């Protein structure tokens, strides 16, 4: 049996992508439950890292395809829309997470930030399912 | 002699994946290349595919636009009605990430 390096590369990207998904949703949900400033700051770093990992690993799927076949995945219609939603979620999520870290928002505003981050995480994960089954 | 056997074994090991990749094949039995089709009818695309190494399923394209994703390797796909004029129908082998692996078969038809 020979090891298929292409599938191994996709699998590693998928593992990283999955853990990024756990970080963005789990981090935001935990931040809504634990209000201590120190914990929230750590969670903001976790969520920021999660969104950056999501973006990088998502792009890696396309990069692996390009490396092996000099072509990107061929997706159309609903799948393209779902991918676009994921990209927008990642951009907004990273921005909001950075805002949690570097903007001096009030307690109420911070809670809305976390709610928005939670919503973006759920939306991105839902879009991932649509992308998976409509492509 | 022993070294020669070893060399042949190594060569066979390397050549095996290449041979598997070469097995990939796409046949379109209907419509035939250059066929004239009824523009008022839904036409069927009859195909028979051997995936070979790296491929996972197939994409069907009509005039460059994806018309279907098929996982059955042999069968019939009913296409949307074609507007009058010349059209190109292609089947491409794609991997698990929906990337065309470079094996494709295209036919040209004319709807009247």
CA distance B55 to A118: 37
Query: Mind giving me the DSSP string for B49-90?
Result: EE--SS--EEEEEETTEEEEEE--SEEEEEPPPPPSEEEEEE
Query: B57 CA to chain A: closest CA distance, Å?
Result: 12
Edge-to-edge strands, sheet with B74-78 = B25-30, B44-50, B74-78
Q: Is pLDDT at B8 greater than 70 in this prediction?
A: no
Question: Could you tell me if A134 lies within 8 Å of chain B, comparing CB atoms?
Answer: no
Residues B34-50: pLDDT tens digits? 999 999 889 999 999 99
Average confidence (pLDDT) over B6-22? 44
Q: Is the distance from CB of B55 to CB of B24 less than 8 angstroms?
A: yes
Q: Which of B69, B98, B102, B104 to mutate to test the interface with A (most CBs of A within 10 A)?
A: B98
ipTM of predicted complex: 0.82
pLDDT in tens, A59-110: 999 999 999 999 999 999 999 999 999 999 999 999 999 999 999 888 899 9
Which residues in B lie closer than 8 A to residue A65 (C-beta atoms)? 95, 97, 99
pLDDT mean across residues, chain A: 95
pLDDT for residue A4: 87
Q: Do B96 and A7 touch (CB under 8 A)?
A: yes
For B104, residues 6+ apart whose C-beta sits below 8 A from its C-beta are B26, B90, B91, B92, B93
pLDDT score, position A106: 85
B15 pLDDT exceeds 50?
A: no
3-state helix, strand, coil in chain A (%, to 5): 85, 0, 15
DSSP A26: H
What does the alpha-carbon distance between residue B60 and residue B107 come to, in Å, rounded to a whole number? Answer: 12
Q: What is the pLDDT of residues B46-85, one digit of tens each?
A: 999 999 888 999 999 999 999 999 999 999 999 999 999 9
Helix (H) or strand (E) holding B30, with range, is strand B25-30
Is any Cβ of chain B less than 8 angstroms from the Cβ of A133? no
């Amino acid at each position: 049996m020979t090891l298929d390096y292409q599938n191994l590369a996709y699998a590693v990207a998928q593992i990283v992508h999955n853990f990024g998904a756990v970080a963005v949703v789990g981090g935001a949900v935990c931040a809504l439950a634990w209000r201590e400033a120190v914990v929230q700051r750590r969670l903001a770093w976790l969520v920021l890292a999660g969104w950056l990992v999501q973006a990088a690993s998502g792009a890696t799927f396309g990069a692996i395809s390009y490396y092996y076949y000099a072509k990107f995945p061929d997706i159309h219609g609903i799948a393209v829309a779902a991918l676009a939603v994921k990209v927008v979620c990642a951009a907004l999520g990273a921005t909001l997470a950075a805002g949690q870290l570097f903007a001096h928002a009030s307690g109420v505003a911070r809670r809305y930030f976390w709610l928005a981050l939670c919503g973006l995480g759920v939306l991105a994960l839902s879009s991932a399912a649509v992308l998976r089954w409509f492509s | 002699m022993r070294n020669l056997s070893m060399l042949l074994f190594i060569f066979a090991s390397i050549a095996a994946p290449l041979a598997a990749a070469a097995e990939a094949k796409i046949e379109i039995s209907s419509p035939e290349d250059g066929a004239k089709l009824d523009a008022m009818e839904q036409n069927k695309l009859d195909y028979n595919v051997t995936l070979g190494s790296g491929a996972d399923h197939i994409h069907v394209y009509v005039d460059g636009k994806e018309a279907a994703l098929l996982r059955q390797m042999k069968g019939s796909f009913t296409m949307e009605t074609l507007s009058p004029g010349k059209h190109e129908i292609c089947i491409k082998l794609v991997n698990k990430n929906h990337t065309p692996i470079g094996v494709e078969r295209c036919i040209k038809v004319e709807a009247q």
